[in-house]
Amino acid sequence: MIPWLTIAIALPAVGAALVWALPRTAAKASPAGAAQAAEASASTGGATATAVRPAATATGAGGSAETAKRLTLGFSLATLLVVAAMALRFDTSQAAGLQFEEVHPWIERFGVNYAVGVDGIALVLILMSAVLVPLVVLAAWNEHEDRPDGGRGYFALILVLEAMMIGVFAATDVFLFYVFFEAMLIPVYFMIGRYGRGDDRTRAAVKFLLYSLAGGLVMLVSVIGVYVIGGSFLWTDLVGEGSALAAVDPATARWLFLGFFIAFAIKAPMWPVHTWLPSAAGASRPGTAVLLVGVLDKVGTYGMLRYCLELFPAAVSWFVWPVVALSLVSIIYGAILAIGQNDMMRLVAYTSVSHFGFITLGIFALTAQGQAGAALYMVNHGFATGALFLVVGFLVARRGSSLISDYGGVQKVAPKLAGVFLVTGLAGLALPGLAPFVSEFLVFVGAYAFHPVPAVIAAVGVVLAALYILWMYQRTMNGPTKEGLTGLRDLSARETWAVAPLLALILVLGVYPQPALDVINPAVERTVGIGSGAADTAAAGGSEGAAGAQEEEGDAE
């Protein structure tokens, strides 16, 4: 049997090692490149000088950086081909089990295994990650020419992060999942702190690290508790009625659930532990922001489905209404703050806080429609928000600013760029016919089946989404052309190749989402079946649900 998942994890890791091994020498600007930068600065009053950098010579850092880019793109495309081949072999008729499983002893004394496998939800998230990485590489091709290493380290970190992202979605050993969960912090920290933008990038990187480490340490306590009680780290040994976790004391189950949930809520992020995201996204290069919001944050919502709901079904009823309430606050609060932003990167980050509220609402509605919509929303959000971050990055590279007030009338000088910006923005507000609409609609159907009130409140977020997206587009693309933007260039061929696949996926999944749902639904049926008892208890109402859970606890004792 071909070890598809191991190959998919190893390929980018090997690529990162090769990129990192390239020689690092000082960059030297060529006279022609310096003259080009001076001419561009003079013609635009310095407004777009950051978009044209001195060209490095073919030797030294210039040659090394160019080789690093090509190696990174090659390995990321190879990883995509492997993941795509694996996806074509995925059996959608197999009810709910894991596929492409591998289990190898790792730390035998403590029962830790290298165990990987995927269900439909994990597969689509791995596929999404593999699609986004080569597009990020293309979009970031010239982002780091001002760095001494020409961006060689940044591209190596992208490949390291890709290996970690695939690993965290594929892990079926709880301890291995925790290792990948924490290891992802290292490349992201340096991608923000070393290769970010602005004077606050170091502070934003430290804030991201501290929040994530705090959540990870809380989860570690629960991971240890799971092993002590369940006697295994293997996910397949811990789920189901016959597992030791199924018979655990209800109070203990609630504490273990909470340890996992706090870590996942921070990673997602949910209100009120969301504050690291706008800072991190605002200080990141657009490529980093795409991976941060498009993939890494999905680890939190994926973890809620895979670990919180499936490992601790008896504890779910205690937390359904509090999590639904937090989801509604995230939806409204994130949207309102997005409306008030002048920085486009921070605005898109706050929209993600709102969108993740929809995802967690769908998960904890504990209905088949809600959870299928939440799982599909993870994928659609990754493509739609990833495309929006890339387009914002193209604007920032040209203008040298992410402030909305520095733009205006862009559609008159760069119509293709403005058109792509509009389509990605409309996807962000879930326009019918575009991918996020399908997932958002399923979340609403599932939430309404759970209880009408949360669905009605969440609908306010749809109205607010139209406000922050359309207002941002109006202020940046319409009206008179701002001074310094008259020479703004339109999309280049490389930038078109970076964003076109995402636009195609947004349109295809918006019109015909059934293939993705066919892959997701069997896994969703399993989680809904596990949480059906909790759903019955929670749907009775907040206080009544808690009372019912207390009664169940008394019966168990």
Q: Alpha-carbon distance 540 to 519, whole Å?
A: 31
Closest CA to 260 of 298, 200, 301, 208: 301
The two structure tokens encoding residue 94: 């197999």
Neighbour-count burial of 100, counting CB atoms closer than 10 A to its CB (0-12 exposed, 13-18 middle, 19+ buried):
buried
Q: Alpha-carbon distance 159 to 161, whole Å?
A: 5
Inter-residue contact 323 to 360 (CB < 8 Å): yes
Residue with tokens 């509220």: 357
Dihedral sign of CA atoms 410, 415, 417, 422 in order: positive
Closest CA to 147 of 70, 41, 62: 62
pLDDT in tens, 243-265: 667 777 888 888 888 999 999 99
Per-residue pLDDT, 331: 93
Q: Alpha-carbon distance 307 to 527, whole Å?
A: 10
pLDDT in tens, 27-70: 444 433 443 443 333 333 333 333 334 444 434 445 677 888 88
Give one word for 70, left, alpha or beta, with left for phi > 0 and alpha for psi -120 to 50: alpha
Amino acid at 461: G
Q: Alpha-carbon distance 204 to 472, whole Å?
A: 24
Q: Alpha-carbon distance 465 to 339, whole Å?
A: 8
Closest CA to 67 of 164, 143, 162, 141: 141
Per-residue pLDDT, 25: 53
Ranges of residues in the chain whose predicted pLDDT is under 50: 26-61, 535, 537-539, 541-557
Inter-residue contact 303 to 259 (CB < 8 Å): no
* CB burial string 4-38: b at 16+ within 10 A, e below: bbbebbbbbbebbebbbebebeebebeeebeeebe
Question: 120 vs 8, 102, 297, 303, 454, CA distance in Å?
Answer: 17, 16, 18, 14, 27
Inter-residue contact 11 to 78 (CB < 8 Å): yes
Q: 10 Å Cβ neighbour count for 467?
A: 14
What is the 3-state secondary structure of 248-262? CCHHHHHHHHHHHHH
Q: Alpha-carbon distance 95 to 172, whole Å?
A: 18
Cα 282 to chain centroid distance, Å, stands at: 16
φ, ψ of residue 284 in degrees (nearest 5): -90, 155
Q: Provide the 3-class DSSP secondary structure of residue 141.
A: coil
Amino acid at 541: G
Per-residue pLDDT, 23: 78
Alpha helices in 340-433 (DSSP H): 344-364, 368-399, 410-413, 415-428
End-to-end CA separation in angstroms for the chain? 47
Inter-residue contact 345 to 406 (CB < 8 Å): no
The two structure tokens encoding residue 175: 């301890």
Inter-residue contact 16 to 163 (CB < 8 Å): yes
Q: What is the DSSP string of 38-97?
A: HHHHHHHTTTTGGGS-PPBPSSTHHHHHHHHHHHHHHHHHHHHHHHHHHHHT--TTS-S-
Q: Alpha-carbon distance 74 to 15, whole Å?
A: 9
Per-domain boundaries in the chain: 4-25+60-556
Residue with tokens 């040659």: 63
Q: Provide the 3-class DSSP secondary structure of residue 102.
A: strand
H or E segment and range at residue 106: strand 99-107
Inter-residue contact 118 to 33 (CB < 8 Å): no
